[in-house]
Amino acid sequence: MEKFDIHILGCGSALPTLRHNASSQIVNVREKLFMIDCGEGTQVHLRRSRLRFNRLNHIFISHLHGDHCFGLMGLISTFGMLERTAQLHIHAHPELERILKPQLAFFCNGLPFDVVFHPIDPAKREIIYDDRSASVETIPLKHRMPTCGFLFREKPTANHIRRDMIDCYEIPLYMINRIKNGEDYVTADGKVIPNEKLTFPADPPRSYAYCSDTVYLPRITEQIEGVDLLFHEATFGEDNAARARKTQHSTAAQAARIALEAKVKRLVIGHFSARYEDEKVLLEEAKAIFPHTMLANENLTISI
Amino acid sequence: MEKFDIHILGCGSALPTLRHNASSQIVNVREKLFMIDCGEGTQVHLRRSRLRFNRLNHIFISHLHGDHCFGLMGLISTFGMLERTAQLHIHAHPELERILKPQLAFFCNGLPFDVVFHPIDPAKREIIYDDRSASVETIPLKHRMPTCGFLFREKPTANHIRRDMIDCYEIPLYMINRIKNGEDYVTADGKVIPNEKLTFPADPPRSYAYCSDTVYLPRITEQIEGVDLLFHEATFGEDNAARARKTQHSTAAQAARIALEAKVKRLVIGHFSARYEDEKVLLEEAKAIFPHTMLANENLTISI
């Protein structure tokens, strides 16, 4: 199966600790890398991951709190020193361009590549990226400032061809891709072999939803229904439910309730408050509601 | 002896690596902390050092390359979350204020403390900070943009009083500090005991010079003559002497020549290029010229 991996580079919340980095993830879809959020230090954590910098062309920023975007300048500046030439696309609230442009002009004068800003309207659900392998859709969230999550959907893949049928009908090489893509095969003596007989169905397209930062927001369950993996913020536990409401974050139990309602396959929780020395309590609270839950952690890679 | 410690938080050069952080140091003079430079990630490295955030009130920025200042926003933002109320003073080229102000307005709205900018003219040698314990003087340097180093000079301390003399003349408690500060003592029967007889001379005031980034600049030796510790950048070795000239950095041998000329007591070299997997070669090149050389390293503390 082709790659669809999530690499957690940072899963702490606003106050950095020695245990967790500021928010950032890499989504690897068929060897194309997409970054979600870029907190301070992300470039170093990306280097530690040993993922290849030059496969990263798109960065999606959920919202403009510092712990989700303070790493951008360092990352861009380093890409410049490494003599990157490919455009770097940043999808974010339009305010980010206004804030970053003067910094880029001052610190990254003569950058050998273009930084292309793509404004997002976080209040709107729309497809903001689309290629042959995947699409990315915004998930409107509710936090202390305009915020959206991101829904990555893999494009359907071609059917698998049956090796035994290739041999049986002596199917020539040039026909293989056409059959994978749905054509029937006509033999030399004019016999039509229907596609269903020649192929297994493709793997169902996979999907990943990133929802951070946000209050408990049941309306998102419709949009993320049935995703293979949901990352949902769980800044607090039940002991801080009031604080979660006040700061417009979620508790682990609320993240689990979203996962349950949306019938997702797996849940990974993160964006942990610095006050938890050990996030096991968050895991237990979530698992009591949605058993297929795991804790995010730095250097964790989840294959979908 | 009272504290005069240098804590290296980062001693890499522009391209961050997994071995070295971007530039930052803490100078602890009698429990007052001064930061020099603040590359990306500094707040986390400061936390790792276990130094107390609230003892830091002054930050000195040598020049406005990203690897010396990209950590400021994260640090300030975290200080805000920790509910700091004391003013934070930033001494830097005036352009920094122009660049940071819009970011502070956007990301740190409602900060519970003031960030006070103090413009530096890096071309001028002048005292930019002065209190009872120490003064800080700029050291004009030469790099690809306006840059200065910083010379920390401890203020003279009081003489040490001789315990045996206290007993001998039954000197009352209230006189101790006055004698330490130079007064003679008059006994009950009117005899004058001269101060020299009652005290040992104070420890000579200590000093620290930070010179980074810079080309080899022999004119600084006059200003930093005899300092107890010199931090001098040594981005390259002799194998890259031409590159050092071109990028306006120094080699390890040049750093050592400065130390030798200036008759400093000890030299610590840093700001290592990412190309050196092991800086021993730099150490050897420097030691051949100035034996009292050591390599900077993350988490290294040097007591003066």
Per-residue pLDDT of chain B (304 residues; tens, 9 = 90+): 789 999 999 999 988 899 999 999 999 999 999 999 999 999 999 999 999 999 999 999 999 999 999 999 999 999 999 999 999 999 999 999 999 999 999 999 999 999 999 999 999 999 999 999 999 999 999 999 999 999 999 999 888 899 898 888 989 989 999 999 889 999 988 999 999 999 998 889 999 999 999 999 999 999 999 999 999 999 999 999 999 999 999 999 999 999 999 999 999 999 999 999 999 999 999 999 999 999 999 999 999 9
Contact A70 B77 (CB under 8 A): yes
Contact B47 A15 (CB under 8 A): no
Q: For residue A26, what are the β-bridge partners?
A: A7, A35
CB < 8 Å to A92, chain B: none
**Residue B84 forms contact with A (CB below 8 Å):** no
State both tokens at A278: 């050990």
> Which of A119, A114, A95, A89 shows the shortest CA–CA distance to A104?
A114
Q: Would you say residue A255 has pLDDT above 90?
A: yes
Which pLDDT value is given to residue B216? 97
CA dist., res. B59 & res. A91, Å (int): 33
Which pLDDT value is given to residue A16? 85
Report whether A143 belongs to an annotated binding site.
yes
Which pLDDT value is given to residue A262? 98
Which pLDDT value is given to residue B166? 87
CB < 8 Å to B16, chain A: 43-44, 47, 74, 78
CB < 8 Å to B48, chain A: 18
**Residue B16 forms contact with A (CB below 8 Å):** yes
Report whether B65 belongs to an annotated binding site.
yes
CATH code linked to domain B4-157+203-303: 3.60.15.10
CA dist., res. A90 & res. A72, Å (int): 10
pLDDT 10s digits, A191-244: 999 999 999 988 899 999 999 999 999 999 999 999 999 999 999 999 999 999
CA A266, distance to chain mean position in Å, is 14
**Contact between A262 and A230 (Cβ < 8 Å):** yes
Of A44, A66, A102, the CB nearest to B99: A102
Which pLDDT value is given to residue A287? 98
pLDDT 10s digits, A59-85: 999 999 999 999 999 999 999 999 999
CA dist., res. B148 & res. B204, Å (int): 26
Domain boundaries, chain A: 4-157+203-303, 160-200
List B residues 51-70 in contact with A (Cβ-Cβ < 8 A).
Answer: 64-66, 70
Mean pLDDT of chain A: 96
CA dist., res. A252 & res. B153, Å (int): 52
Which pLDDT value is given to residue B66? 97
CB < 8 Å to B99, chain A: 102-103, 106
Mean pLDDT along residues A129-137: 96
Q: Would you say residue A2 has pLDDT above 90?
A: no
Report whether B63 belongs to an annotated binding site.
yes
Q: What one-letter code names the amino acid at B20?
A: H
Q: Is B278 assigned a catalytic role?
A: no
Which pLDDT value is given to residue A184? 93
**Positive/negative CA dihedral, B275, A105, B91, B246:** positive
pLDDT 10s digits, A260-293: 999 999 999 999 999 999 999 999 999 999 999 9
The pair phi, psi for residue B208, each rounded to 5°, is -140, 130
Report whether A203 belongs to an annotated binding site.
no
Which pLDDT value is given to residue B16? 84
